[in-house]
Amino acid sequence: MKVEQVSVFVENQPGRLEAILEVLESKQISIQALSISETAEFGIVRMILADPDAGHEALRQASFTTRKDWILAAEIPDVPGGLLNSVAKPLADAGVNLKYFYAYLEHAVNKAMVVLKTDDLEKAEQVLKAKTG
């Protein structure tokens, strides 16, 4: 399923994640998934939020540089080879480039969720729906 992701671009310095989290807490916005990547000078905090519009706006008002993107959240089997056979191989076989992904847990038994950005979101969604039902 398609979900909105909020990305925040921050300096790679102590306290920057804390400041982001404080903004979200002050607006009572829950984080459902979080990924942080970094370089020497800056980081990208990617989040799935319970209310992406409110979170995006709150962070912008707090002077953070933000962006919203559509990405995919796909349920996959939580077994050895689940990511390989449900996501990586089907997308590669379909010629869809996987730009990044991260995982988060849902409450479903024996299932895991992955969040992914591809070069062709529509095609990737069709491929994964066909593979995972």
The pLDDT tens digits of the residues spanning 93-121 come to 999 999 888 877 665 566 666 777 778 88
Whether residue 90 has pLDDT greater than 90: yes
Any idea what the Cα angle at residue 95 is, between residues 74 and 38, rounded to 5°?
60
pTM of the shown model: 0.79
The pLDDT tens digits of the residues spanning 40-77 come to 888 999 999 999 999 999 999 999 999 999 999 888 88
Final residue belonging to a domain, choices 23, 52, 69 = 69
**Do 11 and 24 fall into the same domain?**
yes
* Count of structural domains, the chain: 2
Final residue belonging to a domain, choices 47, 69, 91 = 69
**Do 36 and 92 fall into the same domain?**
no
**Do 22 and 46 fall into the same domain?**
yes
**Do 49 and 87 fall into the same domain?**
no
The pLDDT tens digits of the residues spanning 31-43 come to 988 998 888 888 9
Alpha helix (H) residue ranges in the chain: 16-26, 52-61, 82-83, 89-93, 121-132
The amino acid at 22: E
**Do 46 and 88 fall into the same domain?**
no
Domain containing residue 92: 71-132
CATH of the domain at 118: 3.30.70.260
Q: Is 52 in contact with 2 (CB distance < 8 Å)?
A: no
Whether residue 6 has pLDDT greater than 80: yes
Instruction: Output DSSP code: residue 36.
Output: E
**Do 79 and 125 fall into the same domain?**
yes
d(CA 122, CA 25): 33
Place of tokens 């933000």: 66
Q: Is 79 in contact with 49 (CB distance < 8 Å)?
A: no
